[in-house]
Amino acid sequence: MSVPRKPSPETLAIHGHYDVFRSEGAVKPPLFAASTFAARSSAELAHFFDQAYGLTAPASNPDGLVYSRLVNPDLEIYERRVAEFEQADDAALFSSGMAAIFTAAFTFCKPGDRLLFSEPVYGGTDYLYRHMLPAWGVETHSFPVDGPVEQLDALLAETERVSFVHVESPANPTLLLADIPGIVEVTRARHPDAVVAVDNTVLGPIFQRVLALGADLALYSATKMLSGHSDLVAGLVMGDKARISAIKGSRTILNMNDPHAAWLLLRSLETLKVRAEASEAKAKKVATYLANHPAVTAVLYPGLQHEGEQQRRFHAQTTGQGSLLSFRVHGGREEAYTVLDRLKVAVLAVSLGSTETLAEHPRTHTHSDVPPQDQDRFGISENLIRLSVGLEDADDIIADLAQALEAAL
C-alpha cells in the first residue's frame, strides 16, 4: 500500500487549513473583520473560553471563536499555513517583528535571568536587549555572530540563569552567518532549559529553515519577504506547540495583529517561493556586477565574499543566498550618500524583501541607535550601503547602480 504524499508548503499555502464550504464556497479565505464571535449557548461559550485560555484543549486548535484579541480566522489560517514552511507545530502572528521578539523574550525571561544575543543585530533588537530588558531586571550579554562556538561556550559556562539565546543569522547588515547547530549544542549542554531563538528574516524560510537546524523558535519580521509588498507591518514566531502556546498566552495580553494584515499575508504566502527565488536570481547578478565595479571595495553577500568557516556555514545551513546584500564604496559617508541620492530605480527607503528594490545607509538609518564604537566594531562603516533587490529587471537595477556609482569614482 502506497503512503499518501503530504502536500508541500507551497501547495498548502494555497489550499491548506481552510474549508471553502464553511465560508459560502469562497475559494479564498474572506476577511473576517469581526472583533467578537457568537456562541449557541452559554455552556458552549464557556468551553470556547476554556480552550482560548488553555484551561482545557490547546488554544491553537479551538472548537470555536471568542474574540479577535485571542484568535481570528484569518490569523489562524495564516499561522497554520506559514508554519508548514519551517515545519513547525504552530506559529503566532504579531503586530510587528519587534513585538514578536519582545513577546518571545518576555515569555521565557524572568527578572534575574540572563539573555545572550549575537551581534550585530537589527537596531531595534539591539536597543531592546541593551536598554529595555536590563531595566526590567533581565541581564543581557552579547557574543559575535561570526565567532567560534567555543567563544559562546565559554560565555555560557561563566553565566548563570541563561534562559534565552537570540541569534540573528545572517546578521543585518553585514550578512555574517552564525553556527546555528553549534550554538544549539553548547547551549543545551550548559543550560538545557534555555530557549534558542533565531531571527530568520533575511534568508528564510525558503533559503534557511532554522528549526531543522535545532533552534527552538524561528523569529520573523513578516513585514519583509513574507509580506513582500511594503503594505503591512507584522511579526511572527514559529516553534513547537508548548512554546508557541506559552507565547500566545503572553500575546493575549500584550499585542497581536489585525485580521486585515493576516488576510494580506495569506495573499503573499501563495507567491512566497516564486518571489524569493526570482529576487535571489536578480540579486546574484547585481552582486556579481558590484563585486567587479572599481568604485566598490567589498560586497557582503552570503556565499560570495566569505571563505573558511563562513563558507562552511553557508553550505551547511542554507540553500540559497537571498535578495539582501551590502556593499562598501570608496570613501565615507559623503560618497555613500551621493550614490544613494543618485539612485532612480532603487528606492531610498528602509526595509527589505519587497517587490521594489530598496537602498539605505545602515550607519545613519536602520542602525543609527547603535553606538558609534559598536558600529565600528561590527563593520557598519560610513561607506556601507544596504541593498534589498526586488523584482525589477536585473539589468535595469544594474544600470541604475552604474550611473549612481559614477559619482564615487
Query: Which range marks the domain in which residue 382 is found?
Result: 272-408
Overall number of domains in the chain: 2
Q: Lowest-pLDDT range, 3-7, 89-93, 153-157, 377-381? A: 3-7
What number is the average pLDDT over the span 230-258? 94
**Is residue 144 situated within a structural domain?**
yes
232 shares a domain with 219: yes
Q: Answer yes or no: 240 catalytic.
A: no
Are 230 and 297 in the same domain? no
Active site residue 6: no
Domain membership of residue 192 (yes or no) is: yes
Confidence of residue 57 (pLDDT cuts 50, 70, 90): low
Helices (H), 256-321: 259-269, 272-291, 309-317
Q: Is the pLDDT of residue 60 over 70?
A: no
Contact assessment for residue 119 and residue 129, using Cβ atoms and an 8 Å cutoff = no
| 326 within 8 A of 396, measured Cβ to Cβ | no
Q: Are residues 265 and 278 in the same domain?
A: no
Residues 210 and 258 in one domain: yes
Backbone phi and psi for residue 242, each to the nearest 5 degrees, phi listed first: -65, -50
C-alpha cell at 166: 537570540
Cell 495580553 belongs to residue: 253
Q: What is the CATH number of the domain that holds 341?
A: 3.90.1150.10
Is residue 367, in this structure, part of any structural domain at all? yes
Same domain membership, residue 402 and residue 297: yes
Active site residue 224: yes
62 within some domain: no
DSSP 145-193: TTS-HHHHHHHHHH-SSEEEEEEESSPTTT-PPP-HHHHHHHHHHH-TT
Task: Please check whether residues 187 and 222 belong to one and the same domain.
Answer: yes
Q: Among 269, 288, 307, where does a domain finish?
A: 269
- Looking at the structure, do residues 356 and 292 belong to the same domain, yes or no? yes
Q: Quote the CA–CA distance of 319 and 327 in Å, as a whole number.
A: 22
DSSP state of 67: B
End residue of a domain, out of 231, 246, 269: 269
User: What is the four-CA torsion angle of 272, 93, 78, 228, rounded to 10 degrees?
Assistant: -20
Instruction: Kindly report the average pLDDT of the chain as a whole number.
Output: 94
* Proportion of the chain above pLDDT 70, given as a percent: 98
CATH number assigned to the domain comprising residue 257:
3.40.640.10
Candidate ranges 15-24, 60-69, 219-228; pick with highest mean pLDDT = 219-228
pLDDT of residue 53: 79
Task: Specify whether 351 is located in the same domain as 384.
Answer: yes
Residue 66 lies in a domain: no
Q: Any alpha helices (H) in 208-271, and if so which ranges?
A: 241-254, 259-269
Closest C-alpha to 171, from 100, 118, 105: 118
- Asked whether residue 39 is domain-assigned, the answer is no
394 and 291 together in one domain: yes
Q: Is residue 63 part of a domain?
A: no
- The answer to whether residues 219 and 186 belong to one domain is yes
The predicted-structure confidence for 290-306, as pLDDT tens digits, reads as follows 999 999 999 999 988 66
Segment (H or E) for 93: strand 90-94
Q: In the predicted model, what is the mean pLDDT of residues 169-179?
A: 97
Annotated catalytic residue, options 80, 81, 130, 224: 224
Active-site residue (options: 67, 69, 267, 342) = 69
Q: For residue range 81-138, list pLDDT tens digits in order.
A: 999 999 999 999 999 999 999 999 999 999 999 999 999 999 999 999 999 999 999 9
Mean pLDDT is lowest, of 6-15, 59-68, 217-226, 290-299, for: 59-68
Residues 256 and 281 in one domain: no
pLDDT number for residue 345: 97
Show which of 250, 269, 288 is a domain's final residue.
269
- Marked catalytic residue, from 199, 220, 301, 386: 199
Give the mean model confidence (pLDDT) for residues 363-389: 95
Same domain, 277 and 243: no
**Within a domain: 106:** yes
- CA-based Rg of the chain, rounded to a whole angstrom? 22
pLDDT of residue 306: 63
Q: What percent of the chain has pLDDT over 90?
A: 83
Q: Where is pLDDT greater, at 20 or 149?
A: 149
Residue 282 annotated in active site: no
3-state secondary structure of 80: helix
Q: What is the average per-residue pLDDT within 51-73? A: 78
Give me the catalytic one of 122, 129, 220, 301.
122
